[in-house]
């Protein structure tokens, strides 16, 4: 069936992969809306190529510049701006499927709007689950939205799950590449530059998630994400380092059958699986050469090397209540590191201290979550040594 897409975060890495797939299958997909934050040039090129009815950018100035350039070519894309417009295109009647690929907490409200509107949601924005798992899953259930995980590990698990409701898995195993600093001497971690942290050995991704992979905060957040998506207690979700990034995750059943999904590390595979679901479609990804690839190796993560993973696992095992604080503090600390204002090894310190120092965590409603998020960001900004206006 033909799907009309809203792509939230079109100019990012997930956005690029999604539009590559749309271009390969023009008969199956059309684009209703594309959104970007500040990259007007790239969104302009995407609008010319995919002819969306609506485009959304961060502010009025960007909107008028984009609108003028499109009108000059006679294109009728309506250009809107701001968070309300993101929510509107996520919930619009003219769209069937929402690809949620904005980075960070900024993507929460629009992803939630898609859930409340009962859309088919391809979920890349893991913050919707890390910040508001209970609320988000309740909205999905209430509106009968269809949730399809795009994060490669969760997509792998989704593919390995049995369709039969009585065949519940016993455990999940999330694989992690270990990032660029898996073997780097521990005493040199504080000298790491943003470009070194973003040079992931296997995946091409946006800078925020690349840093999260280097600290392994990403994997800790993925445990929380898997907990909500698959109703699995965090104690039964194991993390294994697998530097080859060929096995994308595994599901273990009571009879000790272990099912894994394999493929080259290219996000077009999980996105294509979710876009076409329940069918399959070509993705343009290189076929996996099992006899030519490196030997597949697995090991347990060293929590002294990856204190951010330890902090995230502690939050998960304590019931995920503090995960909104974990997310907020990490976003602030990673932004400070990327701006050259914080050492790599201080990211975990800022997150740990923010978790200790944020009182009164409320997560019952979107407003409560946003309030807790704001207070945690303010605390983390202070602990990063930044002036209050920076965030
Ligand atoms: P990216 O940085 O490459 O792109 C982010 C997109 O979000 C851009 O289009 C940007 O314009 C938009 N954006 C940023 N700030 C915004 C704001 N305040 N308001 C509105 N839009 C804003 O990020 P990415 O790597 O594509 O990741 C997107 C999401 O997918 C993240 O949540 C990430 O964790 C998740 N994810 C990414 C990958 C990957 O391989 N890239 C894999 C799994 C999950
Ligand atoms: Mg992932």
CATH number of the domain residue 15 falls in: 3.40.50.720
* Residue 303 placed within a domain: yes
Q: How far is the CA of 303 from the centre of ligand 2 (A)?
A: 19
Structural domain that includes position 62: 3-149
pLDDT in tens, 68-77: 999 999 999 9
Query: What is the pLDDT confidence band of residue 361, given thresholds at 50, 70 and 90?
Result: confident
C-alpha distances (whole Å) from 355 to each of 21, 135, 325, 328, 373 are: 40, 21, 6, 10, 12
Q: Is pLDDT of 346 > 70?
A: yes
**Candidate of 81, 152, 205, 215 to mutate for ligand 1, largest count of ligand atoms within 8 Å of Cβ:** 205
Q: Minimal CA–CA distance to 215: which of 192, 245, 244, 187?
A: 192
DSSP state of 53: S
Q: Among all ligands shown, which has an atom nearest to the Cα of 12?
A: 1
Q: Are residues 129 and 61 in the same domain?
A: yes
Q: Are residues 31 and 165 in the same domain?
A: no
Question: What is the position in ligand 1's atom list of the atom closest to the CA of 207?
Answer: 2
Q: Is pLDDT of 391 > 60?
A: no
In this prediction, residue 132 carries a pLDDT of 93
In this prediction, residue 389 carries a pLDDT of 55
Q: Is pLDDT of 207 > 50?
A: yes
Q: Among all ligands shown, which has an atom nearest to the Cα of 105?
A: 1
In this prediction, residue 386 carries a pLDDT of 87
Task: Please give the mean pLDDT across all residues of the chain.
Answer: 96
In this prediction, residue 165 carries a pLDDT of 81
Q: Is pLDDT of 184 > 60?
A: yes
**Candidate of 9, 179, 211, 373 to mutate for ligand 1, largest count of ligand atoms within 8 Å of Cβ:** 9
Which residues line ion ligand 2, judged by CB < 5 Å? 151-153
Q: Are residues 130 and 266 in the same domain?
A: no
Q: Is pLDDT of 99 > 70?
A: yes
Question: Nearest residue CA, atom 31 of ligand 1?
Answer: 103
**Residues forming beta bridges with residue 99, ordered by sequence position:** 7, 122
* Residue 56 placed within a domain: yes
Q: Is pLDDT of 50 > 90?
A: yes
* Residue 337 placed within a domain: no
In this prediction, residue 390 carries a pLDDT of 45
Pocket of ligand 1, beta carbon within 6 A:
9-15, 36-37, 39, 101-103, 106, 124-127, 151, 203, 205-206, 208-209, 267
pLDDT in tens, 375-388: 999 999 999 998 88
**Candidate of 101, 106, 203, 214 to mutate for ligand 1, largest count of ligand atoms within 8 Å of Cβ:** 101
Query: Any residues with CB less than 8 A from the CB of 324 and at least 6 apart, and which?
Result: 130, 131, 132, 361, 363, 369, 372, 373, 376
Query: Any residues with CB less than 8 A from the CB of 302 and at least 6 apart, and which?
Result: none
48-75: average pLDDT:
97
Measure the CA–CA gap between 225 and 139, rounded to whole angstroms.
16
Q: Are residues 95 and 222 in the same domain?
A: no
Share of the chain above pLDDT 70, in %: 99
Q: H/E element holding 21?
A: helix 13-24
Give me the number of domains the chain comprises. Answer: 2
């Amino acid at each position: 069936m033909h799907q009309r897409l809203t792509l939230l975060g079109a100019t990012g890495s997930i956005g690029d992969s999604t539009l590559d797939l749309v271009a390969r299958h023009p008969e199956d997909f059309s684009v209703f809306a594309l959104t970007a934050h500040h990259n007007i040039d790239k969104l302009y090129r995407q609008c010319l190529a995919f002819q969306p009815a609506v485009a959304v950018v961060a502010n009025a100035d960007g909107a008028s510049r984009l609108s003028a350039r499109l009108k000059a070519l006679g294109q009728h894309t309506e250009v809107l701006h701001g968070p309300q417009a993101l929510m509107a295109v996520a919930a619009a009647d003219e769209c069937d499927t929402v690809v949620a690929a904005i980075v960070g907490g900024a993507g929460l409200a629009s992803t939630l709007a898609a859930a409340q509107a009962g859309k088919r949601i391809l979920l890349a924005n893991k913050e919707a689950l890390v910040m508001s798992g209970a609320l988000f899953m309740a909205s999905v259930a209430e509106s009968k939205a269809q949730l399809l995980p795009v994060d490669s590990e969760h997509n792998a698990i989704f593919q390995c799950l049995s369709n039969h409701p009585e065949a519940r898995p016993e455990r999940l195993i999330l694989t992690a590449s270990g990032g660029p600093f898996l073997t780097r001497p521990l005493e040199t971690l504080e000298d790491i530059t943003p470009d070194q942290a973003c040079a992931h050995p296997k995946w091409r991704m946006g800078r925020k998630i690349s840093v999260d992979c280097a600290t392994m905060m990403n994997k800790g957040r993925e445990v929380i994400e898997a907990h909500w998506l698959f109703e699995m207690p965090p104690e039964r979700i194991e993390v294994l380092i697998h530097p080859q990034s060929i096995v994308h995750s595994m599901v273990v059943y009571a009879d000790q059958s272990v099912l894994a999904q394999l493929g080259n590390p290219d996000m077009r595979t999980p996105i294509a699986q979710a876009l076409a679901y329940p069918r399959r479609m070509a993705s343009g990804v290189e076929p996996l050469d099992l006899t030519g690839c490196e030997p597949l190796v697995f090991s347990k993560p060293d929590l002294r090397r990856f204190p951010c993973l330890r902090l995230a696992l502690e939050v998960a095992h304590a019931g995920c209540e503090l995960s909104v604080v974990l997310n907020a503090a990490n976003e602030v600390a990673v932004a400070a590191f990327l701006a050259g204002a914080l050492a790599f090894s201080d990211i975990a310190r800022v997150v740990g201290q923010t978790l200790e120092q944020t009182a009164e965590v409320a997560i019952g409603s979107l407003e409560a979550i946003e309030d807790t998020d704001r207070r945690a960001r303010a605390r983390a900004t202070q602990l990063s040594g930044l002036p209050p206006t920076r965030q």
